[in-house]
Amino acid sequence: MRTLFFAEMWERFSYYGMRAILVLFMVTPAEQGGLGFTTAEAAVVYGNYTMAVYMLAIPGGFIADRWLGATRAVLIGGVIIALGHFTLAFHGAATFYIGLALVALGTGLFKPSISALVGSLYARDDERRDAGFSIFYMGINIGAFLAPLVTGYLAQGLGFKAGLAAAGFDAGSSWHFGFAAAGIGMAIGLAIFVRQTGLFEAAEAASRIGDGDDSDAPHDATAWRDTIAIVVGTGVLAAMMVVSDWPGYAWLRTMVLSAPLLLIVWFATRPEVEQRRIAAILVFFLAAMIFWAIFEQAGLSIALFADRLTLNEMAGRSFPSAWYLALNSLFVILLAPLFAALWLRMGGSQPSSPVKFALGLGFLASSFLLMVPAALLTAAGKVSPLWLVGLYFLQTVGELLLSPVGLSTMTKLAPVRATGLVLGIWFLGSAFGNKLAGVLGAKFQSTDAEALSQFFLEQAVFVGVAALVLLAMTPLVKKWMGGVR
């Protein structure tokens, strides 16, 4: 377990380290080492990239299950991720897009597979199973906490830039040192993992035998057909979302994102309990999609607000704006044990899953509502960092009410033979949410305080209304859940 803890910690270090500086690098003028994108152009790239990271987990997880095995998928995925980060370390438009594509492809293999390996270490009825996943989740957040601190300093730190200039390097190349640091983090994670591959392959094989899964049997035409169908289906869906950014094609995005509403009506009217539970799953899917559409602007509109409109000083010393992204993981580390203790203490009297989801959306709405007066204050100059500390605190409370609860609820509602499919739907909700984060964040601008306050207010109202709708639907959703709490 220790090996998986550190491997995932370093993989998340690489992902969140790169994400912390990605948009800032894109919008930085070319003469300062960036790409010189407009905010709208950077938002499109950010939304499509983060969407791909989550969407590719669906075919990635399937290929790992049916063809590679989780251990080999983690190794191959990790190598591809590291290559992607090191490609980003070279300046150029071509290396930039190739690097993003490699990181997304590698993460699609790595992310679901390493979670599967954690599960393979424990029998289904092993009392240590939940504790093992809790430790694993802590590794994720430690990596995500450390990453912006390191890559943010390398990319934006005035001291580091001065050191580069003194050594005869272009200070603008500091961005690529940040990307390289993310690659080094992934390489460290791989080195830790490689030392124990034999152990994980044995545990994986034992887990398959225990579940009656003969994955080592020769693959037939059905296996090839299913693989091609999932890969092509995912590719078509991703292409539709990308094309929806083109002028005149926004209707494609509306069509894709409206489909769950029609499916909810269809499954809710079915007589079988399992089919009505699918309606409840899709309600949670939509709620999660809306949540991530606002939450994932941490790397986009909130990152730009932090960089351009916030007084980034502490005790008279300046610090990189990317450091704010470490706050979410810090709050998760501090608050997660309190939430776990709260749910244990409340026992059967704790709120139902729909209510927790609605509360999560409510806290998220309040975080953007908090930014309305902060935006108005920017008319007089840069604002205090405490506004962003408050935003990240409220968002983390919302995350802890929704994210772990959602994952647990999906596994309880899923039909016995379709757990993997339902978890794929959950990942798809994150993918669509990240895509919408790019769409919404494209409207961010930092020169008009009134327009900026309206930007935050509109999104706060959007999420707040979604929270109220879900709260009103709670009795109906609980009925569709068929006794599952």
Q: How confident is the model at residue 417 (pLDDT cuts 50, 70, 90)?
A: low
Number of H helices, E strands in the chain: 18, 2
The predicted pLDDT at position 124 comes to 56
Residue 67 has pLDDT above 90, yes or no: no
Residues 6+ apart with CB under 8 A from 475: none
φ and ψ at residue 417, rounded to 5 degrees = -95, 10
Residue 188 has pLDDT above 90, yes or no: yes
Q: Any idea what DSSP says for residue 310?
A: B
The predicted pLDDT at position 413 comes to 83
The first and second tokens of residue 233, run together, are: 């289906």
282-314 as b/e, with b when 16 or more CB fall inside 10 Å? bbbbbbbbbbbbbbbbbbbbbbbbbbbbbebee
The predicted pLDDT at position 126 comes to 63
DSSP string, 387-438: HHHHHHHHHHHHHHHHHHHHHHHHHHHS-GGGHHHHHHHHHHHHHHHHHHHH
What is residue 213's three-state secondary structure? coil
Q: How confident is the model at residue 341 (pLDDT cuts 50, 70, 90)?
A: confident
Residues 6+ apart with CB under 8 A from 19: 50, 299, 325
**Residue for token digits 């990152």?**
303
Does residue 281 contact residue 413 with C-beta atoms inside 8 Å? yes
Tell me: the pLDDT tens digits for 5-30?
898 899 999 999 999 999 999 999 99
Q: How confident is the model at residue 247 (pLDDT cuts 50, 70, 90)?
A: very high
Q: How confident is the model at residue 212 (pLDDT cuts 50, 70, 90)?
A: low
Q: 407 or 338: whose pLDDT is higher?
A: 338
Q: What is the mean pLDDT of residues 433-457?
A: 95
pTM attached to this predicted model = 0.91
Residue 210 has pLDDT above 60, yes or no: no
